[in-house]
Structure 1
Amino acid sequence: MNIIIVGAGKVGTTIADQLSSENHNITIIDLNQKKVEEAEEEFDAMGIVGNGASHQVQVEAGVMDAELLIAVTGSDELNLLCCLIAKKTGKCQTIARVRNPIYSKEVNFIKRQMGLSAVINPELTAAQEISQLLRLPYAKKVDTFARGRVEMIKFRMNPELHMDGLQVADIISKMKCDIMICGVERQGQVVIPNGDFVLKNNDLVSMMAVPKETAKFFRKMGIPTHQAKSTLIVGGGTIAYYLAKQLLEMRVDVRIIEQNKERCEMLSEQLPEATILQGDGTDKEFLLEEGLMHTDSFVALTNMDEENLMLALLARKYSNAKLIAKVNRIHFEEVVDELDIDSVIYPKNLAADHIVRYTRAMQNSLGSNVETLYKILDGQAEALEFVIREDSSVTNQRIMDLPLKDHLLVCYISRYGKLKMARGQDMLKVGDSVIIVTTHKGLHDITDILKY
């Protein structure tokens, strides 16, 4: 597809990276010539220096032949204007980043009135992911499918779980829980395991189940399943605001540390049930005074990646809290993953996943849409949810008889609102929602799960 991206910042370049790897033709528009040149070189994209809201600039970028325009500048209003001009000038679909909380309750109205295909809010999405992690403190990562009815939980296989040397099939039969182990990360290697696969201490295991079965499994493992009751947040930006709103609704005690006095006053007005503290969140003594040793969870959301990571490591030394750090720019994810931090959140990657999911759905050829898509297992695999719209070569045959690609699992089927774990005897039908996990990248259609 021909895709125009307006804005070459952190989110824009991450989206360009993902879409160029899927063989789309990318054009990037930005006012900063250096950023445009860097993007041209890195993503083999065409670059235009100019205002993305300019009709002339959009025409020069090829909006008349584009299928999609994505506006992700730092200004919500500019993003909306870019999309409006693109809709009036060409026939492309449009996606805008809208992050200001003022607009959060008006997103559906904005989409409908402006004809937007989608609205993305990386900060809100990041806050939602963090709140899920605080609901399930034992998880390093939580992804949801089937509108929240299926969860994929990543956790570390610690020695105290006493599962070292056990086969996947043994664990499932021993625990008597309806779960599916769908991915294992070990020393940089990624495996989609079968029943004979042997787990080892320190493995990062991704497991899929409905929430009730997830809780049952971890209870039997002796891991506490209650949500965090208190949190200490360092950094009072947009993510912190969205997160605090969600946690207060979950009846979590929220304390936010922010240095800027005006921002503190604003947060105090908008979040009257939270405790807003003006101070330096990097000051160890201040953190200890404000309850670091006693909080259930600690979330580092400053604007500096290194600061967030160091704060989380400091909190590890002085507390038993669930630790979460936000990272935007660091490209050494494999190094970050080795740090003793429970969960690391990458807001720009969340936005990119959303865009890739949308472009895959636009490309579907045989009537099956990509409803949900996550990059999993350190980006080396994908978990996808397809909705089957038409009969095809995968429907009305037993899964065990289908020539499925290697390193691919059919995990769950949702039919008429009822969920079931996929078994070899099951058949896929029109109308089903199907969850797949695979190391094969770029699946666009449900028929892509077949070898031929």
Structure 2
Amino acid sequence: MKIIIVGCGKVGTTLAEQLNNEHHDITIIDKNTAVLSAITERIDVMGVVGNGAVYKVQMEAGIQETDLLIATTNSDELNMLCCLIAKKAGNCHTIARIRNPEYSSETRYIREELGLSMAINPEMAAAMEISRLLRFPSAIKIDTFAKGRIEILKFLVPDHSKLHAMKVRDVLDKLHCTVLICAVERGEEVIIPSGDFEMQAGDKISIIAPPAESTEFFKQAGIINNTIKTAMFVGGGKITYYVAKLLENTKIQIKIIEQNADRCNELSELLPKAMIIHGDGSDQELLLQEGIRQTEAFASLTGFDEENIMLSLYAASQSKAKLITKVNKIAFENVINSMNLGSVIYPKLITSDSILQYVRAMQNSMGSNVETLYKIVANRAEALEFRVMNDPAIVGIPLEKLRLKDNLLVACINRNGRIRSPRGKDVIETGDRVIIVTTNTGLNDLKDILK
């Protein structure tokens, strides 16, 4: 597909990289010549210097032949204007990044009136992930399929767990739970495990199951999943505001530490149920005074990665709280993953994954049948939900007889809302929804699972 991205910030650059990896024809528009040159030298994309909201600039970028325009500049208003002009000039699909909380309640109206295909709010998307994690504290990451009927949960195998030294094939007999272990991260390795694979303490394991089964699995495996009653957030930015709003009607007591006095006053009015503390969140004395040792969840959500990492490491040394760490740069992902930072939230990756899902869905009308896509491990393992067409190479053939690619697992079959964990004798039928987990990234069609 031909795609134009307006804005070379963190989200725009991440999107350009990921969409380029999937062999789309990408053009980037940005006013900054130096930034544009740096990106076009590093990845195979076209660059156009100029204001993306100017008709002439969009024409130069080839808007009339474009399938999708994505506006990710720092200005919501500019993003909306870019999409409006693109809709008129190229009659293409449009996606705008809209971050201002004032617009959040009007997103549907804006989308309909401007003809936007999608309006994405990175901070809201990150906040939704954080609120899910606070409701299921044992998980590092949670993704949902089939309208919430299926979940992929990632968790760390604790020391002395029943799962330590247990083979994948023994999980059903020993724990009496029909969950499927679909990916294991051990150090820098990402493994799609076979039945003989032996799990170890310290592994990060992704399971796929209906919510009730995953809850039972954690219970049987002896992994504590207590409900969180108290949460401490450092940094009173947009993400913190959205999380507090999402948790407003729960029993979680929220404490927010913010350095800026004006922002504290603002948050006090916006979040009457939360306790707002004016102070420096990196002050150890203040954190101890405010109860970091007693809090059940700790989220470092400031605008500085280094501060967030140090705060989470300090919280880990002082308490057993569920940790959530916001990180914007992903350059040192392997180093970050080796630290005890709990659930690491990358707002720009969440945003680009959402847009990537939409791009894959757009391709449905062009021959692809991907319904949903999640990155289990950034750029290294994916979980994809396919809609099954009448493909004689796959339909009606027992799974054990299909020549599947290596490092690929048929994780789940959704047949008319009934969820089943497939075995070798099971067959895929037309109309099914099938979830595939694989390290072979960039699959577009269900038949791509075959060798």
TM value normalised by structure 2: 0.96
Letter in 2 for 1:86: A
When residues 39 and 367 of structure 1 are mapped into structure 2, their CA distance, relative to the original with a 3 A threshold, is closer
Q: Which runs of structure 2 are paired with 1:51-450 in the superposition (5 Å)?
A: 51-364=51-364, 369-388=369-388, 391=391, 393-450=393-450
Partners of 1:302 and 1:244 in 2: CA distance = 15
Hey, what's the Cα distance between the residues in 2 that align with 1:326 and 1:345? 5
Deviation at 1:240, TM superposition (A): 0.6
Cα distance in 2 for partners of 1:163, 1:56 equals 61
Shift in Å, 1:116: 1.3
1:160 counterpart SS class: coil
- Give the residue type in structure 1 aligned to 2:52: G
Counterparts of 2:290 and 2:2 in 1: how far apart (Å)?
52
Q: How many residues align?
A: 451
Paired with 1:277 and 1:416, the residues of 2 have a C-alpha distance of 50
What does the per-residue CA deviation read over 1:387-413, in whole Å, with 9 as the maximum and x for residues that have no partner?
235555322333333222221111112
SS at match of 1:248: coil
Query: Deviations along 1:155-199, whole A, 9 cap, x unmatched?
Result: 122221043322111123200101000011122111111111122
- The structure-2 alpha-carbon separation of the partners of 1:392 and 1:113, relative to structure 1 and needing over 3 Å to count, comes to farther
- Corresponding letter in the other structure for 1:252: I
Aligned: 1:43 with 2:43:
yes
The answer (yes or no) to whether the contact 1:366–1:445 under 8 Å persists in 2 is no
Counterpart Cα distance in 2 of 1:367 and 1:425: 28
Per the TM alignment, residue 366 of structure 1 is displaced from its structure 2 partner at its CA by 7.6
Q: Quick check: 2:163–2:221 contact (8 Å CA) kept in 1?
A: no
What root-mean-square deviation, in Å, do the aligned CA atoms of Structure 1 and Structure 2 show?
1.6
Between 61-70 and 107-116, report the one with greater CA deviation. 107-116
Quote the Cα distance in structure 1 between the aligned partners of 2:212 and 2:189: 30
Q: Structure 1, unaligned stretches of length 5 or more?
A: none
SS for the counterpart of 1:161 is coil
Cα distance, 1:103 vs structure 2: 1.9
The runs of 5 or more residues in structure 2 that have no matched partner are none
Contact 2:257–2:279, Cα closer than 8 Å, also in 1: yes
- The more displaced of 207-216 and 141-150 is 141-150
Query: Cα distance, 1:107 vs. partner?
Result: 1.9
Deviation, 1:337, is: 0.5
Q: Distance in 2 between matches of 1:417 and 1:368?
A: 22
CA distance in 2, matches of 1:368, 1:379: 20
CA contact (8 A) 1:122 1:347 kept: yes
Identity of aligned residues (%): 53
For residue 63 of structure 1, report the CA deviation from its aligned partner: 0.7
Residue 206 of structure 1: CA displacement?
Answer: 1.1
Q: How many Å separate the matches in 1 of 2:430 and 2:368? A: 9
- 1:18-67 deviation digits (Å, cap 9, x = unpaired): 11111112111112222111111122221122111100110111111111
TM-superposition CA deviations, 1:388-439 (whole Å, max 9, x none): 3555532233333322222111111222222222233333233322111011
Q: Provide the secondary structure at the position in 1 that maps to 2:105.
A: helix
Report the residue type matching 1:22 in the other structure: E
Q: Which AA in structure 2 matches 1:278?
A: H
Query: Contact conserved, 2:171 with 2:177, CA < 8 A, in 1?
Result: no
**1: distance between equivalents of 2:116 and 2:69?**
10
CA distance in structure 1 between the partners assigned to 2:44 and 2:260 by the alignment: 41
In 2: Cα distance, 1:312 partner to 1:346 partner: 15
Cα 1:204–1:235, aligned 2, differ >3 Å: closer, same or farther? Answer: same
Distance 1:366 1:98 in 2: 28
Q: Tell me the amino acid that sits aligned with residue 228 of structure 1.
A: I
For residues 413 and 250 of structure 1, what CA distance do their matches in structure 2 show? 33
